[in-house]
Amino acid sequence: MTDMSGFLPPPGTWSVSSKLGAWEFDVTSRGLAGSRWSDSRDVRRMPPCGMRNLLASYFANGRAPLSAIPLDLPPGGEFSRKVQLALARIPPGRVITYGRLAASLGRPGASKAVGSACRANPAGLVLPCHRVVAAGGPGGYSGGDWVWLKLELLAHEGVVQDPDGRFPADVLLEALPRGRASR
């Protein structure tokens, strides 16, 4: 096991501010157990640590590799776990459609299952489900009325829709990049 002293904050729920509002991070001694956007004013600011520095870098430039944050996620279904691990391979500033992600995972035609796995993602932002889009536009986000947040995160990373609501070909991945995320 890698020594995370100095990188992770103490176990608990911590907040980091961004221009989009506060993000809450549930941290265990082994890694990130969950994250979410929050409009709450009742926050515990994350103490200085490597994770906070990495998040601050991401919020400053949209390019920091959040896949460096170790995970300690609750158990889930086999396909959901495959989707979550695949999310970490989508680089900042790029998007992939639900259908192309499904095909990259060997399940062509399983775009709805990919959407369900993204909706159930316990670590949004760090496992960037906002980078998975519908073939004709943004698709949903977090199982609710959060599409505005998805579009803001993508814009922060330099991805904007064209006037027809589609994503330009130069940011749209045909398939997942090769390799594995460090999970």
**DSSP track, 32-82:** EEEEEEE--S---BPPSSHHHHHHHHHHHHS-S-GGGS-B-PPP--HHHHH
Rounded to whole angstroms, the Cα distance separating 136 from 92 reads 20
Q: 129 an active-site residue?
A: yes
Question: How many CB atoms sit inside 10 A of residue 47's CB?
Answer: 11
Dist. CA 102–CA 96, nearest whole Å: 10
List the catalytic residue out of 129, 151, 153, 154: 129
Alpha-carbon distances, residue 155 vs 11, 61, 94, 111, 179 (angstroms): 31, 11, 11, 24, 26
Looking at the annotation, which residues are catalytic? 129
